[in-house]
Amino acid sequence: MAKQGSNTMVDNYDSPGSSSVLTDEQVEIAQWRVQVTEDGDWKINDIYGEYWEEQENKKVFAKHFKAAVDDGRVSGLKVIRHPDGSDKLSSDRQTVYRIEKNPRAGER
């Protein structure tokens, strides 16, 4: 069960992420960062830039961020998945996202 304290996200790591946990401001920052980042494959800390260091519980934030991306709250960004549906992970076990601000027709 998720609990919200004063500016901290406390959560059971095994529970699924929920896009509704992210504030509109957090989503706006993510959307802005997508707009100023080149198209390509990125990890969340690369996308969020200096705002990443503000996250007190990075694992929990990342879980809810991924849910927000999957729910379409951040346009031009998607989770890269293998053909079997599993997430593509970087060498440090972070989810890899693809920024495509102008995807070609039929590739969404």
* Tens of pLDDT, residues 45-71: 999 888 898 888 999 999 999 999 999
pTM: 0.79
How high is the pLDDT of residue 1? 36
Q: What are phi and psi of 6, to 5 degrees?
A: -75, 100
pLDDT at 9 over 60: no
How high is the pLDDT of residue 4? 39
What percent of the chain has pLDDT above 90? 63
pLDDT at 31 over 90: yes
How high is the pLDDT of residue 54? 87
Instruction: Tokens for 75, please give them.
Output: 């346009």
Instruction: Tokens for 61, please give them.
Output: 């934030």
How high is the pLDDT of residue 104? 65
Please say whether the beta carbons of 99 and 76 come within 8 A.
yes
